[in-house]
Structure 1
Amino acid sequence: MGRVTVSLSDLPLRDDLRGLTPYGAPQAPLAVALNVNENTHPVPDEVASDILDDIAVALRDVNRYPDREFTALREGFAEYLGHDLDASQIWAGNGSNEVLQHILQAFAGPGRTVFGFAPTYSMYPLLAQGIGARWTAGSRQPDYTITAEDAVAQVIEADPDVIMLCTPNNPTGTPLGLDVVEAVYEASRGIVVVDEAYQEFAPRESASALTLLEGRPRLAVSRTMSKAFAFAGARVGYLAADPAFIDALRLVRLPYHLSALTQAAAVAALRNAPTMLGMVDDIIEQRDRITATLEALDYEPHESWSNFVLFGGVADPQATFHALYERGVLVRDVGIPNHLRVTAGTEAETTAFLDALASIGSAS
């Protein structure tokens, strides 16, 4: 009997998933890939050796299930974050997307609403869709900032079950004041998630929402090792919240969801945090260099506290994207009219991008 092929539409898919396409940023074998906000610096050799040693030890017991509570890793995250946190206030998953998914599985779902201020991280509506919740998008000022007063008004009107606050915001790089977080929390009845995936790239004096956790059991602050720690391929995200909040996430996680090898690698990376984070200053330098050069080329870069720059003034984003692609540089069209986004890479990668963009001609 010959093979019978069917299309997705022939399967009994959930009605709310019909017509959708999977998430996926463009992937291409280009020499300079600056499109997905990775840390393009490799893990330092001495740290890689230390991580491999810990993985080798973990392999000896890989026939057994890993520590379901990933105790050592939670202790490592608590020590790294500081603010008098302990392991009971920490959760982790296979990338911050899984951590956010756990939150939505526990507190959202069918008949519930997830809210965020658009434009923001494109995975939020997809995560909401995946668990059957409804995504509602609020708005930002033209410069992508949000005032506490405006945020409160929008939250009261939407009355969501879960609120996602991305700061620094992806894809714009915009910071969010802690006064906004406090005001949103007080105005809402549901869960408030502050996504600080890019916090390590913010100015050193800027305060984290971790300072607001005390006495706010509906607040969670999520982080990732993908960016500052150059650990995107390892897939490790985490959050801090009230211990009761952490208990809620245990209700929806899969058993043994973090492998022994993942736990070992992440613990070793945290042990080497000062070395791992040593590349952050260089990335910030390249980010600021990109901003200055974009201005010189008459583009309109937005303020960024992250490891990327969103810039406007692009007459034809698709044409510019393809022109850069032909020159071996991959950037991101995030769907904002007349804008493109570029990740701050190594000095050589940043130079390649800036030279390629200059060769296309200035924005004027």
Structure 2
Amino acid sequence: MIVNHYRLRSSVRTYNLGGMGCSAGVIAVELARDLLQVHRGARALVVSTENLTQNWYLGAERSMLVGNALFRMGGSAVLMTNVPADVPRCRYRLAHVVRTHVGADDQAYDAIFEMEDVTGARGVKLSKNIMDVAGGALKRNLTELAPLVLPLREQARFFAHLGLHLWQQQRGWAWAWRGGARGASGTSDPHRRRGAGASRSTPSRPPRPLLPAGTPSASASGPSSTAAALGAAAASPPGPYVPDFHTAFEHFCFHTGGRPVIDVLEKALDLTTVDVEASRYALRVYGNTSSASVWYEMEFLEAAGRMRSGDRTWQLAFGSGFKCNSAVWVALRDVPPAPDVIREG
């Protein structure tokens, strides 16, 4: 359609990435980057669209009706180039693209699935487990992205937390085996089974362990309570370390998969309301425009006058498959604000 409308020359190569889901925009950016690395002195136009007509569901299955209410028509276009003469006009430089595909897992594969209902009506089914699947895909994506973008001091904190976690786990299980299972339970000591006093070879009390903050002491609760508390502490190690992503990015553009998706990302990544304002704006004004949504958010950041030279922007998009894809852009110059572009829905 684009080639025909603008009467482009026949040497222009076109690629259709239909069926890639809401993360197709980031996938197309990666494909364009790979092509530009091979073909010097070239430009690539990336067009992301959401077309509801093809997958509009006319049946009555609730899990397949969600898509009708969630998605909206939308589109965006981004011009990428490797022509040196174009650099003064470029706004951004593509720094990283990280793609994660977990389709080998059946639960992830079925999370977003095009199918027919019992009446034969075709549509897209959204699984109730989609948030769990997205969380697992995001974790794998961040595992690969974090070393590329986080400063060394933040990576050092991560490994320090990991080492402390492993040390606490080993200490907890070791004490639970020596003191709790063998001495405090009262079932494996032969002298206790006979009702006799403890033998001379048995220590008067087990060595005092290092207790996590807030754990009751042995003097207050007795050895049995201490063993139970340590067993619980060993079975419940500290939560995963959340890096400070503000050390890597100034702006965040998360795919507008819905308000719960944005809420979960804001909480899980320890972000502020300002960090996710662009995502909430795009969702409120335009709805879920699928793969084009991350560019609606970039437009908001530019129009609000927040994009400055050197700023780093993280685009994150989820898609069927199941996929989680990230793109990192670095601003090459200040983008003048355009408040007239910002709409209120």
Give the TM-score normalised by structure 2: 0.23
Greater radius of gyration (CA): 2
Answer 1 or 2: higher relative contact order, Cα 8 Å, separation at least 6: 2
